[in-house]
Amino acid sequence: MNTRMLIDGTLVKGAGLLDVINPATGKSFAQAERADETQLEDAVAAAKAAQPAWAGLGYEQRGALLAKLADALDAIKDDLTRLLTSEQGKPLPQAMGEVMGGIYQLRHFAARRIEPQVLREDEATRIVEHRTPLGVVAAVTPWNFPFLMITQKIGPALITGNTVVAKPAPTTPLCALAIAGAAADILPAGVLNVIVDDNDLGGKLTGHPDIAKVTFTGSTDTGRKVSAAGADTLKRITLELGGNDAAIVLDDVSPAEVAPKLFGGATVNAGQVCLAVKRVYAPSAIYDELCEELARLANEAVVDDGDKQGTQIGPIQNRMQFEKLLGYLESAQADGTVIAGGKPLDREGYFIAPTIVRDIADDAPLVREEQFGPILPVLRYDDIDDAIARANDSEYGLGGTVWAGDVERGAQVAMKVDSGTVWVNKHLDIGFDIPFGGSKQSGIGREGGDEGLHAFTQPHIVNIALA
């Protein structure tokens, strides 16, 4: 297990050490090297110096090196899976899914190319659009998907000729450092740099004058700070921020059939997913039955250490988020009727019993805010247009789902939901070739697809007189 940072092609010790906590025990199981401001400057300088030569390699050579990195990570996927569960908490099958998803991402981007586009050509003129790299990219990633979020950012950044300084969340640095350990033997010096902080270097990195682009995934509050930090130098910024995703259930579905899908969408990764189902709107005709089914699933769910076979829901990743969820549980008791869960588990670690809350008002904190945990409010509606309006009455607009017997009717409802992505009769189907991002205060820009790839490049127009 590599615990050293990667700066200018060398795995280095830091100015200090950072304890890494296993959320299933609440105790430290490793220490990661932690950077100071001088090492941040070294990382940015190394990336800046390496960028012209990296861009000069061209797509084929860059792609071959990215594919080689993917192969190196694939060779240690079992170790990465256990490491991910140890630092993040999710059950091993989910951890393996994340690791393999990240490896597939790298292979996907390794094969991508942006060819010059002829915009106009006639007897007098040829106009060609080239897409050139921006320069040095700062990739700042969250703690809920500490492997997948790194690959999601370094893949498109590197294939398009940029160099990267990556900074993982302080509570989950080890997956990023594992990627750094593999990259040190594969990528040219300075192309990928990975530093770790204790929440003290983010502003210095995102506001650095030599950073051309920031790609950030995290909370909306932090996203505002990232945007402000980059304003002075007009950095290109991609922000994938918070969500309060609504699931709208139509009256022609079976509660017994839809409940497991809603429950799984709300509790995957212990609910710590920006696109998790965070509130359910159900018609009065099936409201009681749906609530009963959800409560049954919550009571039957196996909540335990993600390292144990059979665990369905692991711990909350860190103490700060755990204590925030305790506040939501307390307010839910006052604002609604708790029909399953409603309390932390009486054991070491940061475990919350999966909780279902019914008969709760639209203005309750659990409904208005992003809880980011396995606590699900279920709201009643009598008119579908009213349900859509209530679902849209949010500062967030990242994702959402519609569950319908009549698929075409479901698609019509989905078109009225103000979110970047809305699924009909499925959830969390995100292909690497599909652009993803939020509306309103859930983000700026897109990741994935052509749009996400182009976000790491600058349009460069060459306008030639032929006559």
Q: Which stretch of 393-397, 399-403, 430-434 has the lowest confidence by average pLDDT?
A: 430-434
Q: Please name the CATH architecture into which domain 246-424 falls.
A: 3-Layer(aba) Sandwich (3.40)
CB atoms within 10 A of CB 435: 18
Given a contact cutoff of 8 angstroms between Cβ atoms, the answer to whether 318 and 372 are in contact is no
**Residue 129 catalytic?**
no
Tens of pLDDT, residues 415-426: 999 999 999 999
378: β partners = 280, 358
Confidence of residue 1 (pLDDT cuts 50, 70, 90): confident
Number of Cβ atoms within 10 Å of the Cβ of 59: 16
Question: Containing H/E element for 262?
Answer: helix 255-267
* Segment 286-322, tens digit of pLDDT: 999 999 999 999 999 999 999 999 999 999 999 999 9
Q: How far apart are the first and last CA of the chain?
A: 63
Q: What span, in angstroms and rounded, lies between the C-alpha atoms of 268 and 27?
A: 23
pLDDT per residue over 107-129, tens digit each?
999 999 999 999 999 999 999 99
Q: Which of 33, 87, 175, 274 is catalytic?
A: 274
Q: What number is the average pLDDT over the span 64-72? A: 98
- The catalytic residue among 33, 240, 370, 447 is 240
Phi, psi of 30 (to 5 degrees): -160, 165
Closest CA to 47 of 146, 154, 179: 154
Given a cut of 90, is residue 60 above it in pLDDT? yes
Handedness of CA 386, 392, 393, 394 (dihedral sign): positive
Q: What is the pLDDT of residues 230-271, one digit of tens each?
A: 888 999 999 999 999 999 999 999 999 999 999 999 999 999
Residue 282 — very low, low, confident or very high, per pLDDT cuts 50/70/90?
very high
Place of tokens 């305790």: 326
pLDDT band (50, 70, 90) for residue 213: very high
CA 229-6-18 angle, to 5 degrees, is 75
Residue in 171, 192, 196, 189 with CA at minimum distance from that of residue 180: 192
DSSP string spanning 37-99? HHHHHHHHHHHHHHHHHHHHTHHHHHHHHHHHHHHHHHHTHHHHHHHHHHHH---HHHHHHHH
Q: What's the burial of 113, exposed, middle or buried (CB within 10 Å: 0-12/13-18/19+)? A: exposed
Query: 353 near 384, Cβ under 8 Å?
Result: no
Q: Is residue 345 classed exposed, middle or buried when 0-12, 13-18 and 19+ CB atoms within 10 A define those classes?
A: middle
Residue 402 and residue 410 in contact, taking contact as beta carbons nearer than 8 Å: yes
The structure's pTM equals 0.96
Beta strands in 346-395 (DSSP E): 355-358, 375-381
pLDDT value, residue 231: 87
- CA 141/CA 148 separation, integer angstroms: 9
Cα Rg, the chain, nearest whole Å = 23
pLDDT in the model for residue 165? 98
Neighbours of 188 (CB within 10 A): 15
From 222, 57, 149, select the one nearest 448 (Cα to Cα): 149
E strands in 290-336 = none
Query: Which percentage of the chain shows pLDDT scores above 90?
Result: 99
> Residue 449 in contact with residue 122, Cβ under 8 Å?
no
pLDDT higher than 90, residue 467: no
* Residue 7 C-beta-side C-alpha neighbours within 13 Å: 21
Confidence at residue 232, expressed as pLDDT on a 0 to 100 scale: 86
What confidence score (pLDDT) does residue 393 get? 97
Domain ranges of the chain: 5-241+438-465, 246-424
Q: Which CATH class is domain 5-241+438-465?
A: alpha beta
Instruction: Name beta bridge partners: 447.
Output: 436
CA–CA dist 187, 57 (Å, integer): 12
Numbers of helices and strands, H then E, in the chain: 15, 20
Residue range 8-18: average pLDDT? 97
* Whether 274 is catalytic: yes
Q: Are 193 and 244 in contact (CB under 8 A)?
A: no
> Which helix (H) or strand (E) covers residue 292, if one does?
helix 284-300
Report DSSP state, residue 464.
Answer: E
Percent pLDDT > 70 in the chain is 100
- Find out whether 435 and 450 touch, Cβ atoms under 8 Å: yes
Question: Mind listing the pLDDT tens digit for each residue in 426-436?
Answer: 999 999 999 99
Gap between the Cα atoms of 284 and 321, Å rounded: 33
